[in-house]
Amino acid sequence: MYRPIERSLQMNTPATHRKPTGYQNVNGRDQKLYQPKGVILGHYKEKSGGETIVNGLKVVTKSITFTCWYNPALEEKDQLIIMGKVYEITNIEDVEMRHRYMTCELESVEAGA
């Protein structure tokens, strides 16, 4: 049976869960609107990060893994706010299909850094 490493069993990092509710047109461009759905406790670990230049702007990407208790409300394309940074869920894994732990791959993209 899968057990996360001892540190991640603490699961003491709060993350605010936000779901997309619709779109709003801002300067001719559609932007997603998000609504907070609650706080989830978990453990996060940074995986990778990088910088590229796109259209003359420096774009910084950061990937992390977030381990938490199983929560069926989490879906791909939702957002989690962890320590003031906004991350989008790119992949969700229900570990061993036991509905006990779940591992989420999160990605943050910032432009103009």
DSSP 8-state symbol, 100: S
* Cβ–Cβ under 8 Å, residues 91 and 76: yes
Whole-number pLDDT of residue 24? 94
Confidence band (pLDDT; 50, 70, 90) for 1?
A: low
**pLDDT at residue 56, rounded to an integer:** 85
CB-CB contact of 110 with 60 (8 Å): yes
Residue 17: the pLDDT is 96
Q: What is the mean pLDDT of residues 79-107?
A: 92
Residue 110 has pLDDT above 90, yes or no: no
| Span 23-34, pLDDT tens digits | 999 998 899 999
Asked if pLDDT for residue 42 goes beyond 80, the answer is: yes
The label of the residue with tokens 């230049």 reads 53
DSSP secondary structure of 67-96:
EEE--TT--TT-EEEETTEEEEEEEEEEGG
Taking the C-alpha atoms of residue 38 and residue 16, their distance in angstroms, rounded to an integer, is 6
Q: Please state which CATH number belongs to domain 6-111.
A: 2.40.10.270
The secondary structure of 5-56 as a DSSP string is: -GGGGS--EEEEEEEEEEEEEETTEEEEEEEEEEEEEEEEEEEEEEEEEETT
In this prediction, residue 83 carries a pLDDT of: 92
Q: What is the pLDDT of residue 64?
A: 94
In angstroms, the CA 45 to CA 35 distance is 25
